[in-house]
Structure 1
Amino acid sequence: MSPGDESERPYLRIAEAIRHRITTGALRPGDRVPSTRQVVRDFGVAMATATRALAVLRDEGLVVTRVGSGTAVRAPDPPRRGGRAPGRELTTERIVATGVAVADAEGLDAVSMRRLAAELGVGPMSLYRHLSGREELEHLMAEAVFRAYPLPEPGPPGWRAKLELVSRVEWSAYRGHPWLPELVSLTRPLLTPEAMAHIEWILRALDGLPLTPAERAREAVTLSALVRGLALSVAAEVQAERETGVANDQWWITLDDEVRALMGSGRFPRLAAVYGEEMRDLDGLLNHALARHLDGLAARLARSAAEP
């Protein structure tokens, strides 16, 4: 291979193979593309080569990497409006939907009344005929997201299945909208029916269990806090990727030598023995934390049942 023959470089050949699957429809928008580890296995290349191949596809806008959910084929961006679409009146619902779309793509800081006005093709002051300002907008954005993730009625049988379900619904909402945890507070909760319904659902799942009112209240808050806490890590990583342009897997590749040196120094033998991607797998961390939390609640209920 001559030095100038770029087409023969392994990472470009891998990128072309995945690109072909996307352009032919074998991989459709939203489908996950092979992970770096799968590329390493399938193509017999080093991790750095696999990472570089996926970086090429990201740079081309064909795929997008979302923290905790891997790399997927990117959906086409909605067309930007240069003016108000014919026959579509400006409504609160349109403003809120546009705010959610901007926050999903660029983060909560990108949402402003001026930005939304530009997206909708209207003057900024026209938005204030529908909203009092940024605070109300954020409130309605959170409300809209919670509404899009309804809880089933009556839900699965058993308190444990119900608590696991509500936790995973919230996790899906946070994963789909990484800015949402910033708006959810334990000390100043969102007073919207859609958000309050999640707490009510948890409390109903605890009906009939031998718990005090204080324990029920704390369980409802603690369970939601567990999910939100991990979701804040997702939000922080998404923001870091936006600011640096470096995906999480690429960032770890750059630290590979330093990590190996630290783990091989003998200073951290226990950490070195268990260190791996499991510590960065947010879905796996949620599964572990949720299982251990519910195990603890089950043990508490078992003690109550055993008491005379």
Structure 2
Amino acid sequence: MAEQEPNRMAREIDLLWGPREPARRGPKPRLSRGAVVEAAVALADAEGLEAVSMQRVAKELGYTTMSLYRHVDSKEDMLTLMAEAATGDAPPAPEGDGGWRAGIETWAEAIMRRYRAHPWMVFVQLSGPPSGPNGLQWMEAGLRELVRAGLRTGDALEMLLLISATLRETVRMEVEMGRAAEAAGTTLSESERDYARALREVVTPERFPTIRRMLDEGVLDQAAPAPDPGGGPAGGPAEGLDFGLQRILDGVEAYVRATAGDARGA
């Protein structure tokens, strides 16, 4: 009977948790999986994910493309290993007396720093929840704080997915808008002001009353903040991210209070 092919997730688990290098006899080879992944991450940091290919990484390392296939089976596997490596293995420590809310804020800030350091991460196609040791450590850190808030583990997972998606999508929009602004020879803040000026020519209070109110209040004309210390562009979507995150956490607090009250009244 033919041996059954492992499913995608089982294969990914094996890739991220299995031996980093196949067992070999003789002297240790100069090229390793770790070196391949490190070179690929450096290339993506410098030139974007679109620059990464097996051929290009091999060239950066001074090896043939076939040499890389002895350590990484495919570009898809290399992207999976790159994302796991760039995630890092040091999520924030528990906040102690700071409370669960401060813990989630610290966790979110750390995730944003990771994305800002490796913007290409938000363009790697997701195959599912984290499955590698690094990704799971970050998942554990986030879940821990939400469970401390009083959520059941299933509810904590739902909220963590919402927060994670918000962070990832916000950075993705910021990167794409930054690229468009750079291609036009301008900045994100200048692009927003140009957008507002153009809209004022066509947006009327009769047809778009709320948008017109926003324009009249100068929301898009505000002076650009100082550059983000984490490396993000000034004036990007992430500038207002804290407001949204705080409202999500307000919702968690309100839900926990309500469910606790219902339990006492039962």
Distance, in Å, in 1 between the alignment partners of 2:86 and 2:256 is 34
The answer for the alignment partner of 2:120 in structure 1 is: 179
- Establish whether residue 114 from structure 1 lines up as the match of residue 55 from structure 2: yes
Gaps of 5+ in 2: 1-28, 205-210, 225-234
In structure 2, the partner of 1:61 is none
Q: State the partner residue of 2:137.
A: 197
Amino acid at match of 2:55: R
Give TM-score, length-normalised by structure 1: 0.62
Question: Normalising by structure 2, what TM-score?
Answer: 0.71
Match of 1:231 among 171, 180, 183: 171
Give the C-alpha shift of residue 184 in structure 1.
5.8
Residue 246 (structure 1) shift: 2.9
CA–CA distance in 2 between the matches of 1:261 and 1:142? 39
For residues 73-152 of structure 1, the aligned pairs below 5 Å read 89-147=30-88, 150-152=90-92
Deviation string 1:203-250 (CA, Å, 9 cap, x unpaired) is 2113354434431221121111111110111232344357x3634348
Show CA shifts across 1:25-61 (max 9, x none): xxxxxxxxxxxxxxxxxxxxxxxxxxxxxxxxxxxxx
Question: For residue 294 of structure 1, what is the aligned residue in structure 2?
Answer: 249
For 2:200, which of 254, 257, 263 is the aligned residue? 263
What is the CA–CA distance in structure 1 between the aligned matches of 2:181 and 2:202, rounded to whole Å? 30
Does the 8 Å contact 2:37/2:78 carry over to 1? yes
Aligned partner of 2:104 in structure 1 is: 163
Indicate conservation of the 8 Å contact 1:241/1:248, yes or no.
yes
What residue identity is the alignment partner of 2:214? L
- Please state if 1:276 is matched with 2:216: no
Distance 1:303 1:274, change over 3 A: farther
Q: Given that residues 178 and 188 in structure 2 are in contact (C-alpha distance below 8 angstroms), is that contact kept between their aligned partners in structure 1?
A: no
Q: Is the 8 A contact 2:170 2:237 kept in 1?
A: yes
The number of aligned residues is 216
User: Aligned partners of 2:185 and 2:173: how far apart in 1?
Assistant: 16
The verdict on how the C-alpha distance between 1:277 and 1:108 changes in structure 2, with shifts beyond 3 A counting, is farther
Q: CA RMSD in A?
A: 2.8
Instruction: Return the alpha-carbon distance in structure 2 between the equivalents of residues 96 and 135 of structure 1.
Output: 12
Give the fraction of aligned pairs with identical amino acids, expressed as a percent: 31
The answer on whether the counterparts of 1:241 and 1:247 sit within 8 Å (CA) in structure 2 is: yes
